[in-house]
Amino acid sequence: MKYRADVDGLRALAVLPVIAYHMGIGGIPGGFTGVDIFFVISGYLICGIIYQGGMTNTFSYLEFYKRRCLRILPPLFVVLLSTLIFGYYHLLPAQFSDLSNSSLATLLFSSNIFFWKTTGYFAGPAELKPLLHTWSLAVEEQFYIVMPVVLLFVVRRFRQHTSRVMLLIIAASLLLSIYAVTRKPTFTFYLLPTRAWELALGGLIAVAGLEAKLAKLSQGVKHLMSLTGLALILIGFLWLTTEKPFPAWNALWPCLGSFLIILAGERAMVSRLLSLKPVVYIGMISYCLYLWHWPIIVYSRMFFNLAPGIRELTIVGLTLGLAVASRYLIEIPFRYRLSGFSPSRIVTASVVGLVLMASGSLYKGHLSNNAGQFSSEALMLAQYSQYKEMPDFDYQYRPGRCFVDGKSQEDKPFDRDYCLKTSATAKNYVVIGDSHAAHLWRALSLAAGDGINVIQATSAGCKPLYRQSLHNPCTELVDYLYGNWIPSHHIDGVIISARWLPEDIAPLKATLAQLKSVSDNIIVLGPTIEYTEALPDLLAYQTDGRKDLVAASIDHSIKTTDVAMQQAVATEKIPYISIYSIICPHDVCRGLASDGHPLSNDYGHLTLSGAKDVAKEAVQVMRQDKFMP
């Protein structure tokens, strides 16, 4: 295919917002959609190569994969090796094991599947996984495996219908994405079937010959097309957030925008701007920028307590420096100087490299980790970051039955008959909310004693707010509780708890106003203290010498939210218990429960030990307020 400098410039427009978004720079809440621009570009280029080769009967699978190997693998190997070496000497054993697993998945072109399976409510903060960004590379690599087979088959058997087949792929994948985004959002975000339409949209330009067909359009129309495309991309950057369903229809903003810019041609107004040498240069190093930026951001958050401003400059400097070095020392030598070698030798060497790297990841991650550098006390604390594997987790939460996924249908439905069973001999209290209600349910039940039946109505990611605009398992449960179940049962008290955010305060007041019409005994539990990383890991690192790490990692916005909530709930004349004040008396926060175990198992979910300490004091307050006998 003919080289287009503006397409390289479009890569720059894709990668810079992604990096800025990941760095936490404000003003671009939809910066993550830069990845979708990459998908459209890759589809355009790859489908163009395959289609031209198929039409002229010159396509070679070995030559195709030789080019992909020389382009993708050398910088990827270096970034993976660097990330693993740093992690081996600094990460806790469980963290490094997870890193090695993600490295292995990356080498097997399946990290999107790995993160789909492992990124969940209790899997640890996704933003602290150094190789999380490789999910998008896996999607593209899977497309490179599937698309040559599909497109060549169509070109050779149904040549006249190639464009229709591409449109069919786009339509089917987009409709699947729209259907699944509210039912299986994690599947929809990570996997190829719901992302294929984005790559195929770019491919449609090449396969349907749209550039040639639109060549007769006036330059003014092409300018307008490119400006419209840029506007759509900017809307995606500025308007989209992680709270909106994605990809589905919301991915149309960056994808259609990229489609229009490419289609408008290299002489269109926006394309000329994208063809400026500094922009093109950023585009040429965009792959290396993308590879390096995320491990640097993650490790800087975990291990380097830099001042604001200095931190951002350090990340930008390291990312840019390593990307430029990778471009000239790795990418160019391998991609161009080895291009004369036969495809079979390059592909064979690549497979050998993949096997060796994968074997190293497996060995170091599971058979020879660096646990010996940590004390036994640190390792004991750190094991609580794997709390989901401990017996206490099931006992505390009752997952899959009374605590389910509220935002999708990937989990089992809430068991109403079992979980909402009332007692004829004891007083009935119900705990309603998300995981920050679920982590307290068992402890509240134990602290309340035999004469109190504490009922659990909890759903992950599910705010206990009345009449929400969304429709999913969470809203179905909450609406049922408030609209049907509580009015039709004798409930002695309603306990509302959640991971409260400032934007929840107004709808919570409205919910309380409605709820008072069906219950005269309500109490609200405030937000739990949160940390920037998993508390067990922070405690482990602090135990082995990183002083004051736990205190430095507290999210201080929780206290502000707690105070605002207390004032708002008071206006509704509803009692309020500050969980923050229980954990942080006089603003000194406890990291350990009374039995010496970590208070939380991740950023803010309480362990059973921590929940027992909190519930003991909370129930005392409830009894003082006459909420509970």
DSSP string for 482-513: IIIIHHHS--SEEEEE----GGGHHHHHHHHH
User: Of 336-350, 366-380, 502-516, 551-565, where does mean pLDDT reach its minimum?
Assistant: 366-380
Buried b (16+ CB within 10 A) or exposed e, 335-369: beeeeeeebeebbebbeebbeebbebbeebbeeeb
Instruction: Give the confidence band of 372 by pLDDT, cuts at 50, 70, 90.
Output: low
Residue 499: its pLDDT value, please?
Answer: 95
Q: What is the pLDDT of residue 369?
A: 58
pLDDT at res. 411: 63
Average pLDDT (400-417) is: 79
Three-state DSSP class for 531? strand
Q: pLDDT-derived band of residue 472, with 50, 70 and 90 as boundaries?
A: confident
Do the Cβ atoms of 273 and 9 come closer than 8 Å? yes
CA distance 117 to 190: 10
Structure-token match 């990937």, residue found? 410
Q: What is the pLDDT of residue 358?
A: 80
Please give the pLDDT value at position 365: 60
Q: Which contacts (CB < 8 Å, 24+ apart) does range 62-67 have?
A: 62/343, 62/344, 62/347, 63/343, 64/144, 64/148, 65/144, 65/343, 65/347, 65/350, 66/343, 66/346, 66/347
- For 444-462, what is the mean pLDDT? 94
- Average pLDDT in the 506-526 region? 94
Q: Give the strand pairing for 427-433 and 452-460.
A: parallel
Model confidence over 589-611: pLDDT tens digits? 999 999 999 999 999 999 999 99
The predicted pLDDT at position 371 comes to: 57
Position 120 scores a pLDDT of 59
What is the average per-residue pLDDT within 225-243? 96
pLDDT classification of 124: cutoffs 50, 70, 90 = low
Report the alpha-carbon distance of residue 188 to residue 179 in Å, rounded.
9
The whole-number average pLDDT for the span 544-573 is 92
Taking only Cα atoms into account, the Rg of the chain, rounded to an integer number of angstroms, comes to 27
Q: What is the pLDDT of residue 353?
A: 85
DSSP 527: P
pLDDT at res. 336: 84
Dist. CA 573–CA 34, nearest whole Å: 47
Place of tokens 């990418």: 331
Band of pLDDT at residue 337, cut at 50, 70 and 90 = confident
363 has a pLDDT exceeding 70? no
- Token representation of residue 480: 């049922």
Q: Determine the residue type at 590.
A: R
Residues 533, 603 contacting (CB under 8 angstroms): yes
Quick one: pLDDT band at residue 306, thresholds 50, 70, 90? confident
